[in-house]
Structure 1
Amino acid sequence: MLDIAAICLVVTALLAYLNQRFVGLPTTIGVMAAALLLSVALIGVDLLGWLPGLRDFEASLMASIDFSDVLLQGMLSLLLFAGALHIDLSELRRYRWQIAALAVGGTLLSTLVVGVALWAVLPLAGWQLPLLSCLLFGALISPTDPIAVLGILKSAGAPRDVELVIAGESLFNDGVGVVIFALLLGIAASGTVPTAGEVGLLLLHEAGGGLALGLALGWATFVLLRSIDHYQVEVLLTLAMVAGGSSLAAHLHVSAPLAMVAAGLVVGNHGRALGMSDKTRHHVDLFWELIDEILNAVLFVLIGMEVILISFGPGSWGAVAVAIAVTLLARSLTVGLPVALAPRWFKLPGGSPWVLTWGGLRGGISVALALSVPESGGRELLVPLTYAVVVFSVLVQGLSIGKVVKASVCQSTPNPAGDRENRSDPVRPATTGHPSSSRPGR
C-alpha cells in the first residue's frame, strides 16, 4: 500500500509540475488531461508492440487500487470538509432555500429525468438497460463537482452569488446523491420496492442523521478549539474530527458526506471567527487548502489513469453520446430552467442559468459510485458511460465555462439585489479583520 501511495504521489507531482511549467491549465483539469493522455499513449504503444509491459504495469497498479473505497471511504469526507470550511455561512443563509431546492429537489428530479430518458433513448443506440439500472446511472451522475471550475469562474469575473450557489449546491448534492444511489442499489439487491413511508424514513435517517451528527461534531470541536490557543493541536483536532466523524457516521449508517459538510460549516464560521486566534486561523486555513489541492490533484490523476481498465466496445460510442446529451439535458431542465423561470426567487444575475447548467461538472464521486454497481446492475455499460460523461464535463465544459461566463453573466444586467462589491468572498472568507488575535472568553 505504501508503494502504491508513493507512486500515485510521484506521478501526480510530476504531472502537476509539467502542467504548471508548460501548459498552465487549472491544476485538476491539467493533471487529469495529462494522465488521460499518458494512459492512452501507453495503450497505443502496447498495440504497436513498443515498450512491452508498461501498459500491464499501469493496469496492475490501477487494479490494485479500490477507487470506490479510496474516494468514498477516504478522500470524500476530507474534500467536503475542506470545501465547507471556506463557505461563508452568512452568505449561504441568503441562498439557503435556493441551494436546498437545487441540491435536494434538483438531484431527485435529475435522477428521474436521466434515468427515464436514458431508458427510453438508449435502445436507439443499440443498447438496452433495465429502468432500475438507468435510474442508478441517474443517481450517480447527478451530483456535481465544480471544484475544478471555481477558479475559472473567479478569473472570468463571475458574480460571487453564482459562485456561492454552485459551491453550496455541490457540497450538499454529493451527500443527497449518495443517499439516493444507496437506496436504489438496495432495491436492486433485494428486488423489493419500499413504500413511500419507508423511503422517507430512510432518507430522514441517512440525510437528517448525517446533518445532525455533523452539527454535533462541529459544535463539540468548536468548544475544544475555543478552550486552547495552540495551532498545532487545533489543526490536529479538525483532522481527527473528520477522520473520526466519518468512521462514526459509517457505524451509525448515516451520511458521512452530509455530516462533514455540516461540521465544516460550523467550524469554518463559528470556529474560525470565535474559536481561533489569527495565527491559528491562518494555519488551519493553509492546512486544509493544501489537503484540498493535493487530494484533488491525486483524485483527478486517478480518474485519468482509470481509463486503462475501462473497456469501450465498438458499439458503445453511440451510447456514450446519448449519455452525455441526456446528462446535459437533465441539468438544464432541473437547474437551468428553474433559475430562468424564477429569477426573482433565485436572485441571480441574468445569464446564470447557462453558467449553472454548463458549470455542473461531474467528478470522481460519479466514477466511484459506478464502480460499486454490481455486474447484475448493468455495470459493464454504466462504468464506461459514467467515465465518458466525467471526462467530457471536466475537459470540455471545464475548459469552456470561462467563455460561457463572459458571454452570458458578465454582459448581462446586474443582480437586482445589488452587487455588494465590498463583501468578502463567499467561498473563501477573509482571515483577517477580527478586532483581536485572542479569542473571546480567553
Structure 2
Amino acid sequence: MIAGLALTPFDAAAILIVLAAALGYLNFRFLKLPSSIGLTIMGALASLIVVGLDRVFPGAGFGHDVVQFIAGIDFQTTLMDGMLSFLLFAGALHVDWHEMARGRWPILVLSTVGVVLSTLLVGGGFLLLSHMVGFEVPAIWCFVFGALISPTDPVSVMSVLKRADVSPALEATVAGESLFNDGVGVVVFSILLASAVSGEPFSVAHGAHLFAVEAGGGILLGLAIGWIAFRAMRSIDDYKVEVMISLAVVMGGYAIARPLHASGPVAMAVAGLIIGNAGVAHAMSDTTRDYLHKFWDLIDDILNTVLFLLIGLEVVTIPGDLRLLVLGVAAIPLALAARSLSVILPLRVIRPKHRYGLVAPVTLIWGGLRGGISIALALGLPDGPARSVILAATYVVVLFSVIVQGGTIKRVLEYLTAKETTR
C-alpha cells in the first residue's frame, strides 16, 4: 500500500478493522440498514469509488494498491483455517436443539442430500452458462463453484429470521439446516477443490469415502470437545475462564481437526450446539451466559463486517470484462432454481403426503441467503484462470442474495402468512 513498506498481517487486519468500523458507523448513523445489507452496499460503493478514482487519476494507482493489498492476504489460511471456525461456532450457539429436533429429518436431508444435489445442479448449469458466454471453464471448477455457492450463511439467515415473524420450530429448522449445510458444503468444496488443483479425474467413490471420513470425524470430534468443555464449565463458576474455554474449543478444536482428517467446520457446529444448549442450560450462571453470548456476538459481528467489506472491495480485483457481469447475473436464477429443487424434491421424498403450505418452502428458498461463507471459500481459491470467473459469479450472486433477498424476505413472509390465515 505504501511504497517501500511491507504489509504485515497486523497491518492488513488493522486496515480492515478500521474500514469496517468506519463503514459500520456510517451505516448505523445515516443509512440505518441491517448491517449485512448496509455493509455490503457500502463496500461495493467503496470499490466503485476506487475504480472511479483510478479512471480520473490513472497515475495514482489506487486500484493497483487495493489489488496488491487484497492479494497480500492469505485467504486460504485466514478464512478456511480461521474465520470459518469462529463463524460456525457462533452461529451454532443460538440454535435451539429442542426446536431443531422437531425438524431433524428435513435438517439432515437438506444439509446433506440437498447440498450435494444443489452442487450438481449449479455446477452443471454453470458449465453450460460459462461456455455460452465464452469462457472455457473446466467442468470440475464449475462444480467447485456449485459447492461454494450452495451452502447458506447461518448468520445472515438468522438475522433475517429475527426480523420476520416465523414459528420457533421453522426458525430452528431453517437455522439448523443452514448451520449444517455449511459444514457439509465446506467438506464437498474441499474434496472438489483438491481434485481440481491436482488435475486428476474426480472419483465418486473416493469422494464419498473422504466425505464420510471427514464429516463423521467432524461429528465425533465436535461431540468430544463439546462434552469436555461442558464438563469443565459445569465444574466452575467464573465467566472469564468459561468464555476462555469456549475460545479454546474453537481454536484448539479446529487446530487438531486437520491432523485427524476430520472436518473442522462440522466439529465446530456440533461443539457450538452442545455449549449453546446443554452448556447454557446446565453449566453456566446467568452472568456467564450473558458474557458468553455477548462475546461471541461481538466476534460474529466483527468477522462478518470484515467479510462483507471484502465482498465489496473484491470487485476491484475482478477483470473489467462485461462477460463476467453477464455470467454473474445469469448465475442468480441458476442458484435460486437449484436451491428450490434441492429443497422441494428432498422434502417431497421424506414426507410425500405432508402439506407444507407456502411459508416453510419460501422461508427455506428465499430466506436461504448466501453470504460470508461463500465469499470466504471463493476468496480462498488458488490463482488461476477459473478464479476470476468464479469470484465474479460469487460476488454477483451474494450481492443479490444479501440485498434483494435479505431486504425483501420480511415483506414476502408477511404477505404469505396473511394470505394463508385468510384461507
User: TM-score higher than 0.5 here?
Assistant: yes
Question: What secondary structure sits across from 1:299 in the alignment?
Answer: helix
- CA distance in structure 1 between the aligned counterparts of 2:134 and 2:365, rounded to whole angstroms: 28
Which residue of 204, 211, 217 maps to 1:209?
217
Contact 2:79–2:380 (8 Å) recurs in 1: no
Contact 1:349–1:413 (8 Å) recurs in 2: no
- CA distance in structure 2 between the aligned counterparts of 1:412 and 1:388, rounded to whole angstroms: 33
- CA distance in structure 1 between the aligned counterparts of 2:141 and 2:239, rounded to whole angstroms: 48
Go from structure 1 to structure 2 and tell me whether the alpha carbon gap of 1:68 and 1:37 turns closer, same or farther (over 3 Å shift): farther
Q: CA deviation at 1:161?
A: 2.9
Letter of the 2:116 counterpart:
L
Matched, 1:73 2:85: no
Matched, 1:296 2:309: no
Give the stretch that moved more between structures: 183-192 or 233-242. Answer: 183-192
- CA distance in structure 2 between the aligned counterparts of 1:192 and 1:335, rounded to whole angstroms: 31
1:436 is aligned to: none
Go from structure 1 to structure 2 and tell me whether the alpha carbon gap of 1:186 and 1:52 turns closer, same or farther (over 3 Å shift): closer
2:181 is aligned to: 173
Aligned counterparts, 1:130-141, within 5 A:
130-141=138-149
2:332 is aligned to: 324
Contact 1:210–1:249 (8 Å) recurs in 2: yes
Q: CA deviation at 1:345?
A: 7.4
Give the stretch that moved more between structures: 95-104 or 320-329. Answer: 320-329
Per the normalisation by structure 2, the TM-score is 0.91
Matched, 1:159 2:167: yes
Gap runs ≥5 in structure 1:
415-442
**Cα offsets for 1:148-182 (capped at 9, x unmatched):** 34333332323333322221111111111111112
Contact 1:312–1:384 (8 Å) recurs in 2: no
Contact 2:106–2:347 (8 Å) recurs in 1: no
Give the stretch that moved more between structures: 386-395 or 202-211. Answer: 386-395
- CA distance in structure 2 between the aligned counterparts of 1:386 and 1:397, rounded to whole angstroms: 15
1:391 is aligned to: 399
Q: CA deviation at 1:119?
A: 1.9
2:3 is aligned to: none
Contact 2:115–2:184 (8 Å) recurs in 1: yes
Question: What secondary structure sits across from 1:162 in the alignment?
Answer: helix
1:333 is aligned to: 341
Matched, 1:150 2:178: no
Contact 1:125–1:322 (8 Å) recurs in 2: no
Matched, 1:362 2:354: no
Per the normalisation by structure 1, the TM-score is 0.87
Question: What secondary structure sits across from 1:252 in the alignment?
Answer: coil
- CA distance in structure 1 between the aligned counterparts of 2:215 and 2:82, rounded to whole angstroms: 19
Question: What secondary structure sits across from 2:243 in the alignment?
Answer: helix
Go from structure 1 to structure 2 and tell me whether the alpha carbon gap of 1:380 and 1:50 turns closer, same or farther (over 3 Å shift): closer
Contact 2:27–2:33 (8 Å) recurs in 1: yes
Which residue of 52, 59, 65 maps to 1:44?
52
- CA distance in structure 1 between the aligned counterparts of 2:358 and 2:232, rounded to whole angstroms: 44
Go from structure 1 to structure 2 and tell me whether the alpha carbon gap of 1:35 and 1:195 turns closer, same or farther (over 3 Å shift): closer
Contact 1:157–1:410 (8 Å) recurs in 2: no
- CA distance in structure 2 between the aligned counterparts of 1:18 and 1:192, rounded to whole angstroms: 48
Aligned counterparts, 1:241-280, within 5 A:
241-280=249-288
Which residue of 333, 350, 358 maps to 2:358?
350
Aligned counterparts, 1:223-234, within 5 A:
223-234=231-242
Go from structure 1 to structure 2 and tell me whether the alpha carbon gap of 1:196 and 1:131 turns closer, same or farther (over 3 Å shift): closer
- CA distance in structure 1 between the aligned counterparts of 2:11 and 2:182, rounded to whole angstroms: 30
Matched, 1:188 2:186: no
Q: How many aligned positions are there?
A: 414
Q: CA deviation at 1:114?
A: 0.9
Matched, 1:20 2:14: no
Contact 2:110–2:346 (8 Å) recurs in 1: no
Q: Which structure features the higher share of helix residues?
A: 2
Go from structure 1 to structure 2 and tell me whether the alpha carbon gap of 1:112 and 1:74 turns closer, same or farther (over 3 Å shift): same
Give the stretch that moved more between structures: 3-12 or 149-158. Answer: 149-158
Question: What secondary structure sits across from 1:315 in the alignment?
Answer: helix
Question: What secondary structure sits across from 2:280 in the alignment?
Answer: helix
Question: What secondary structure sits across from 1:408 in the alignment?
Answer: helix
Go from structure 1 to structure 2 and tell me whether the alpha carbon gap of 1:238 and 1:119 turns closer, same or farther (over 3 Å shift): same
- CA distance in structure 1 between the aligned counterparts of 2:159 and 2:383, rounded to whole angstroms: 38
Go from structure 1 to structure 2 and tell me whether the alpha carbon gap of 1:369 and 1:154 turns closer, same or farther (over 3 Å shift): closer
Give the stretch that moved more between structures: 230-239 or 199-208. Answer: 199-208
Go from structure 1 to structure 2 and tell me whether the alpha carbon gap of 1:21 and 1:50 turns closer, same or farther (over 3 Å shift): farther
**Cα offsets for 1:268-298 (capped at 9, x unmatched):** 1111111111221121122112211222112
Q: CA deviation at 1:361?
A: 1.4
- CA distance in structure 2 between the aligned counterparts of 1:338 and 1:203, rounded to whole angstroms: 20
Q: CA deviation at 1:53?
A: 4.3
Question: What secondary structure sits across from 1:380 in the alignment?
Answer: helix
Go from structure 1 to structure 2 and tell me whether the alpha carbon gap of 1:297 and 1:346 turns closer, same or farther (over 3 Å shift): farther
Aligned counterparts, 1:121-132, within 5 A:
121-132=129-140
Q: CA deviation at 1:206?
A: 0.4
Give the stretch that moved more between structures: 42-51 or 177-186. Answer: 42-51
Gap runs ≥5 in structure 2:
1-8
Question: What secondary structure sits across from 2:208 in the alignment?
Answer: helix
- CA distance in structure 2 between the aligned counterparts of 1:186 and 1:294, rounded to whole angstroms: 30
Q: CA deviation at 1:124?
A: 2.6
Question: What secondary structure sits across from 2:85 in the alignment?
Answer: helix
Identity among equivalent pairs (%) = 46
- CA distance in structure 1 between the aligned counterparts of 2:356 and 2:232, rounded to whole angstroms: 38
**Cα offsets for 1:391-434 (capped at 9, x unmatched):** 121122211222221222453259xxxxxxxxxxxxxxxxxxxx
Question: What secondary structure sits across from 1:253 in the alignment?
Answer: coil
- CA distance in structure 2 between the aligned counterparts of 1:347 and 1:33, rounded to whole angstroms: 38
2:13 is aligned to: 5
Contact 2:43–2:309 (8 Å) recurs in 1: yes
- CA distance in structure 2 between the aligned counterparts of 1:340 and 1:354, rounded to whole angstroms: 15
